[in-house]
Each structure stands twice: as structure tokens, then as C-alpha cells.
Structure 1
Amino acid sequence: MRIATTLIGAGGLALSLLATSVMAQSVTQAEINKLGNELTPVGAEKAGNASGTIPEWTGGLPTDAGRKLERNFWENPYENEQPEFVITAQNYQEHRDKLTPGQIAMFERYPDTYQMPVYQTHRSVGYPQEVYDQVKENAGKARLVNNGDGIENFTHGSFAFPVPKVGAEVVWNYLTRYRKNVQREYAQAMPQTNGSYTLIKFQEDVAYPQYMPDVDLEDAANVLVYFKQRVNAPSRLAGNVLLVHDTLDQLKEPRMAWVYNAGQRRVRRAPQVAYDGPGTASDGMRTTDNFSMFSGAPDRYDWKLIGKKEVYVPYNAYKISDPRVKYDDILQAGHINPEHTRFELHRVWEVEGTVKQGQRHIYAKRNFFFDEDSWLLALADHYDSRGTLWRVGEGHVSHSYNEQLPGFGIETLYDLLAGRYIALGMYNEESSAPSFGYSPSYREFTPAALRSSGVR
């Protein structure tokens, strides 16, 4: 069955290196040969660091690292570990060289409450062998096009640039990371300065063309993802549905988005669901492209590769999504409860994005910190037009070892100026943890299907 698709743009990206727009250097065969040898199969340094505080990568957690629990949850393989030390406002200067500006700002903004419990580092992330084979086979073939606004010679794969040369390629590795079809229920909250909050409940279906039986991959060669999000609570928002189709090349096929308004019972195009448009039911606490730490088209920024460094990042965040932990235990005034967080020392790629001349975005500059083993965006600093550090994002990396699939146990975005934050992706109290691997029909991701999806 062939399906004609006119779909969106999750692609589109300009790059800069040393303030000069350049295209990436070619990857040599010698560099490609390092994958699976000096480098992990997806491009991280396999060796540990000189001090031994970051161990060697040995393949990640096995798929049987823990037992399956109730409601599709899985055991925390590190449950019995205790913090090696805790970074606080009183001692953060001792660790400053391994902290981001955003983390330092959090200690200074919340000196009495913000803490970072630091645990032993585990390089737990590992992918299926077929992912490694595909990355090795395609390495060096993908190319940035349209001055970085898209990529070519890359279709329905993972990690387009395992040996990145410029900042844009690192960002594209995140956008093309390995993922699976998923259905999930989760909660979002935007606590007030006194800690009070209202939960927003969502239901999401996310699918990728290569895992959909009735999508012709030739027709959908430029398609990245199909995304459908339904609001289940509170009652004033229940039944509203968002549908998004995203593509690799923004200029070739721009993002397409539609919303179904349950009150009006109408389906409408939604061009505002992009860039710095307000995030769904977020009370203005995040932009559309803050979702999943960063998503959508990156073409409004010049991207500069700062380099690789060692940073304490939120990692192996099984405690924060433990089914025994309640949302009230997590959410508090100012920031989430540090008692349930876990930080580890990992190597990250730092990329700086600056708004391109002639473009606009409420974030004039963004500094991203990508975990080298998973390519996940673990930390993000956002600056306003005055150059003031405004919002600090934390993506609490949690590896679904049974699925060999890393993701986020929770995402947080702290507004340093307002003293508030948004926490999203929580599923502790939902009927089930995320469920992977379903095989939906393309018909489920059409505008015509929105009305039935939004029936209350």
C-alpha cells in the first residue's frame, strides 16, 4: 500500500564553526574503522578517563539486568547504591570545572535547597546489534545540505554522524537517535513559587515510518516521525489533540501540525506548533522546541561545536520514575526534590546555538550538553536577548535496558527569573510505564483521525 505524504520538518539546521559558516569535513575510512574499536559502535570514546572516575564502556547493561515489575515498570539495577558525595551551594566551587553555567546558577538561585547527589558512574547505555551494524554501514555517507538545514544520503537510520566534525552534526545525531514506536501516559506540572501545582495528563502515540506496516518507505523517505498527543486532564482541556508530522529536510517539506479543539469540535492547522510557540498546556513555561529537551527544526540557529568535556549529568535516573514514588514526592517549590535525583560524571559534547541573522527566537543563545554514549541531550542552558541565563533544562537520562533504549525519566526546565519550572514526562502514578514496539497504521496519524481521538 503506497501512501502519499506531505510531512513536516524536524530537520533544518544551520551551522557555524568559529563564527564561520562551513560544511563538515569528510570522515576518513580510518575514522570509520574506529567505530567498535577505540570508539563505541555509535561514536563515544570507549576508554575511561585518566582518573578512573569514568569507566571504560563494555557494552552497557544486559537486557536481563533487572526484573519486570507491575504496570510495565522494571527494576532499578542500582537501587542499593548510595551517593559518593553531594554537591551543594556550600561546596559547588570545589566542583565548578565539572558543572555547567546553568547548574552553577541553580546553586546560586536556590542555595538552601538545590543539591546534586553524585553517584558512581555507570556507562549503562547499549543498543541492539542491528543499530551498530547500520551505523557502521552508513558512517560517512550522510551529508549536511542547504547549508545545514537538512541531511541527504540518510533515510530511516540512527545517528547520522557518529564521527561529528561540526556542531550541526552533533545536533543531528540527537534528532536522528535510535527510537521505537511508543505509547505512553504521562503527567506535566508547572509548580507555583509556593509549590502548589495542577497536573496535566497526556496520552501520546509516537511512530516511525520504518516501523509502520502500511507506510511505503520510498514515499516517506523524508519523514522522521508521526506524533499524536491527547490531553486527558484536567477536564477543561480534556479531549484536545495535537498531531504532528516531522521531516528530515525542513526546506523540502516543512512541519505539518493540526489541533483538534474538543470545545469547538474542530480540526485546524497549527503553524504555531513550532520553534518558540508555546508548549501545550505549559502556562508559558516552555516553548514547542523545548519538548523532549529539543525537538523540531533547528534551522534558526548557527551551531558551534565547543568540544567535549566531563560534566556531572542527571543519569541512570531510575529513582525519579520509581512506581513507589508519588508526584507529591517529586514536585516542590523551585525545583524537583533532589532526594530522588542521581548525577554521574560523564563526557558530553557541548554545542552552542546562536540565533542566525534575520531570524528570531525567544532564546537568543542555547548551550547544549549531549551525553556521548547515548547522544541524549542531558543539560541545556537558554539565554535571552540580553545575554542573561534564563532557563536551565535537565533531561534525566534513564536507560530502558530491557528495550536497549535510553530516554528520559523526567524533563525539567527551570525559569531562573520567575522562580518556577515545568516538569514533564512523569509516569510514576500512571496506569502503565511507556509501552514500546506497537505497530500502528498510518491512518491513525491523519487529520481525519483527530476528531475520534479527541472524543471525551
Structure 2
Amino acid sequence: MILLGLLWTAEAMAAGGLGEHLTPAGAERDASADGRIPAWQGGLNTAQFRLAGNGTPLDPYADEQPLYEITAANAQQYQDQLTPGQIAMLKRFPETMRLPVYPTHRSVGVASTVALSAARNAANATLVEGGNGLKGFSGAIAFPLPANGLQVIWNHLTRPRNASYSLMSDSVTPLKNGRFVRMSSRQDLALPQPVTDVAADNILYYFTYRMTAPSRVAGDAIVVHETLDQVAQPRLSWVYSAGQRRVRRAPAVDYDTTGPGTAGLRTADSRDMFNGAPDRYEWKLLGKKLLHVPYNSYRLASPDLRYSELIQRGHLAPGPTRYELHRVWEVVATLKPGARHIYTKRHFYVDEDTWAILEADVYDQHGELWRTTAAHSFYHPVGQVAVNALEVTYDLKSSRYHVSGLVNEQQRPYVFNLATSLSYFSPGALRSFGVR
């Protein structure tokens, strides 16, 4: 399966698209031989959804029951379809941790604009020298026919997103006893296309992050211009401290610097599972495999689920989680000789239908498994993209964890297709963001 993209390239180019065996995003269209992975039939459509009062989709599979549950007692039976991090968590919490596994649904649709850009990129997109940027790329999905691990990671970085959206969400970092303080923020992201009054060379997207609670951090904000080639042009970022009433450049929001508000449990380049420059690692594609991954996690976004029910000692409450068996691309990143990062090896599992990293394991300087991260995603019909109900990082050394992107207790978490301008993502806008 390692050479899957190469084997289909000739056929796809001859057909003027991605070929009859692939979806418009580059995934395998057909069902698996054993039938456990169904054929892709276009994903869910808007008629199949109803929205909750806060705008999150209600679970279209609410009537389903788990096919089975994976626990510490039976994990060996499924070990070929589990990540090392999942196995480690089951062993760490044998009495309370479990993975409820449901029928597999390929629910993610592909917007027509994404299909067109993916086909165009298949013919035109290439890596710049060193692999740290792209040439001939536009839209989404740089390499729908990937030939190596770095191209798969670039597909994650360029995966389909709504052109411009706002997310109101919460994050928590529970103590070992399960107690936590809720932190709230607003995030805005826009691709270059909908941003007015700008010619965006080497810009992947614009991003703002502003804290809204608790009061001690409310008003703190950051603006980021995410560049395609961050080696040639590092990401541009500015921060505003409401306490100091000062805007300043933030040149170190990258690589293994500590992510703000994460209690040191997540690095800057681990937000969104992986972001930023890939230059410090060698990337190896191991091919595809079947894996139990969090998927169709509508219950985790439901306003009926309170954080006090979800956040428990050691890990998330397993009851509302949903795992399915899916085909994923398996990529290993190994730190280059002489390069610096607290993670010497990173193992990523990338969903074939969305190109999103759903599971990631990272290793310390001694080669020991340190942290494991999962993105619990679902397809949002309004934005026509897959979004995360939450992202959770478990630290196996400290037995603590960090959860970001929680939306259950937000009144209106998702707003898509915002009208934006470059001035909104400028350093000067930070002061207005930071008004308490």
C-alpha cells in the first residue's frame, strides 16, 4: 500500500481526474475486501442532519449501539488495529478506560470546490527543495496521490477547511483528582481567498486566538499569519497582553515551545495534531492500515453533555466517545541528526477521507512513548468540512491530560463563511481583541 498513490497516478492523469477507484479527495472509493470498511458513497448530505439549539449537528447515528468494546482485558485481540498510545492508556487505566466501537460510516462529503482543487493539485503541486513548502498549489489537498510521508503530512496541513470561520470553544487541563478550571477562547481562521484587500504570497491561512475566560487571562490574544514555507519565511505572529496593554512580535510560537494554556502538556506544533514547518524531521510513509480511530463524534459535541460528565480522573469518560474502524495512512517522523525538539519520534495516523491526523504518538529522548493525542472529529454539514468535537493529549509520564476545542457549553460555537479583511488579522487589531 505504500506505493498506492504512485500506482494510481497514471490512470488518474489519463482520466483527467483522480480515477474511478478514488474519491475526489484521493481516498479509496471501494469497500474493504472483508466489508468492514464500506464503500464511499458521497458522504452525508444536509437533508440527513438536524441541528441542536447551539448549531451543532445532532448525531445522525444516535440509535446505533457499539459492536464491541476494547478494554485492557481484550486489547491483545485487537492490537494490530490499535496505536501504541491507545494500548498504553488501556493498560494505565484498566478499570475505567475503554474504546466503544461502532459501525463504520464514511460520512464526510467532498465539496465541488475541493474536488476541483484536488484534481488540479494532483497535476501541478510539487514540494519545494527540502520539502518545506509547495509550488503549484492552490485550494486544498496538495497531494491527493501521495508518494511519500511528507506529502501525506502536507495533505493534513492543506486539508479542506471552511474558507473562513469562527470557533468559540473551551479547554481544560484536569488535575489528577479530576478537578479543572474552564478556559474559554475565540479562534478565527481564514484562507487567503476570502480575505479582502490582500495578495497573499506564501500564506496558508490567517489565524487569531483570543482568551475570553477566566478573568485573569481574558483579553490576551495572538494573531498568526501561517506561511507555506516556514523555513524560507517563518510564520508571522504577534501577541497582546491585556495586563500589560502591549502588542509585541512573538517569534517563538513554533516547534516545541509550550502551547499557551496547556500546562506544558502540548507543544506549539502539536496544536491541530501537527502544524508548522516539517524541516526538523525525516518523514517515512509506512502505507495504509486499518485502525480503530475516533470518528463521527457527534455526541462529544452535544450541548446535552456537560463538561462535568465528560472530564474525569485520568481520561475522558468513555461512554460518549465513538470509535470506528477506518483506513488510515501511517507516517513516522524521526528527528534529524543535529536538529532540536523534545520529541525524537512522532507517529501519525491520517484519515484517508479527510486527510486529518486522528491519532498521534510521540516519544522522548530515550525513545519511550511519552504522549498520545486523539482528534475526535465529525462532519459539519453547514461548513461542509470535518471539524473536531475536541482534541485530547494524554501525558503518560505525569498521568495528566489536556483537552481543547470543547464546544458543548458554548451558545454558538461554529460560525462559517465569515466576511474578513487583512486588517482583522493585523497586529493593530489585537488591541481591540484584548478589551476586557
Q: TM-score range by the shorter chain?
A: over 0.9
Q: Which residues in structure 2 correspond to 1:297-376 (within 5 Å)? A: 297-376=277-356
User: Do structure 1's residue 148 and structure 2's residue 131 form an aligned pair?
Assistant: yes
User: Do structure 1's residue 42 and structure 2's residue 22 form an aligned pair?
Assistant: no
CA gap 1:80/1:25 in 2 versus in 1, 3 angstroms: closer
Q: Who is 1:248 aligned against?
A: 228
Q: Which amino acid aligns with 1:30?
A: E
Q: Who is 1:105 aligned against?
A: 88
Question: In structure 1, what is the Cα distance between the partners aligned to 2:240 and 2:116?
Answer: 41
Q: Which amino acid aligns with 2:146?
A: P
Deviations 1:127-182 (A, max 9, x none): 11121122113313111112111111113x11010000000000000101111211
1:397 to 377, 392, 417: 377
> 8 Å contact 2:160–2:354 — kept in the other structure?
no
Question: In structure 1, what is the Cα distance between the partners aligned to 2:201 and 2:36?
Answer: 43
> 8 Å contact 2:231–2:279 — kept in the other structure?
no
Question: In structure 1, what is the Cα distance between the partners aligned to 2:365 and 2:381?
Answer: 41
Q: Which residues in structure 2 correspond to 1:146-225 (within 5 Å)? A: 146-155=129-138, 157-180=139-162, 181-216=164-199, 220-225=200-205
Q: Which amino acid aligns with 1:183?
A: S
SS at match of 1:367: strand
SS at match of 1:205: strand
**Cα distance, 1:291 vs. partner?**
0.8
Question: In structure 2, what is the Cα distance between the partners aligned to 1:426 and 1:64?
Answer: 26
**Cα distance, 1:102 vs. partner?**
1.0
Listed as ranges, the gaps of 5+ residues in structure 1 are 1-16, 18-23
Q: Which amino acid aligns with 2:176?
A: T
Question: In structure 1, what is the Cα distance between the partners aligned to 2:121 and 2:359?
Answer: 28
Q: Which amino acid aligns with 1:261?
A: S
CA gap 1:151/1:390 in 2 versus in 1, 3 angstroms: same
Q: Who is 1:30 aligned against?
A: 11
**TM-score between the two structures when normalised by the length of structure 1:** 0.92
**Cα distance, 1:272 vs. partner?**
1.9
Question: In structure 1, what is the Cα distance between the partners aligned to 2:73 and 2:221?
Answer: 46
Percent identity over the alignment? 47
> 8 Å contact 1:149–1:249 — kept in the other structure?
yes
Q: Which amino acid aligns with 1:364?
A: T
Q: Who is 1:129 aligned against?
A: 112
SS at match of 2:94: coil
Listed as ranges, the gaps of 5+ residues in structure 2 are none
1:257 to 237, 244, 249: 237
Q: Which amino acid aligns with 2:420?
A: P
**Cα distance, 1:25 vs. partner?**
7.4
**Cα distance, 1:27 vs. partner?**
8.0
Q: Which amino acid aligns with 2:58?
A: E
SS at match of 1:340: coil
Question: In structure 1, what is the Cα distance between the partners aligned to 2:411 and 2:223?
Answer: 23
Q: Which residues in structure 2 correspond to 1:398-417 (within 5 Å)? A: 398-417=378-397
Q: Who is 2:58 aligned against?
A: 75
Deviates more, 1:400-409 or 1:416-425: 400-409
**Cα distance, 1:432 vs. partner?**
0.7
Question: In structure 2, what is the Cα distance between the partners aligned to 1:309 and 1:367?
Answer: 13
Q: Who is 2:35 aligned against?
A: 52
Q: Which amino acid aligns with 1:195?
A: G
> 8 Å contact 1:125–1:401 — kept in the other structure?
no
1:116 to 88, 91, 99: 99
User: Do structure 1's residue 66 and structure 2's residue 49 form an aligned pair?
Assistant: yes
> 8 Å contact 1:395–1:410 — kept in the other structure?
yes
Report how many residues are paired: 430
> 8 Å contact 2:330–2:349 — kept in the other structure?
yes
> 8 Å contact 1:381–1:392 — kept in the other structure?
yes
> 8 Å contact 1:159–1:178 — kept in the other structure?
yes
Question: In structure 1, what is the Cα distance between the partners aligned to 2:59 and 2:9?
Answer: 40
Deviates more, 1:108-117 or 1:402-411: 402-411
**TM-score between the two structures when normalised by the length of structure 2:** 0.96
Q: Who is 1:3 aligned against?
A: none
Deviations 1:411-436 (A, max 9, x none): 00000110000000001101212111
**Cα distance, 1:401 vs. partner?**
2.5
Q: Which amino acid aligns with 1:344?
A: E
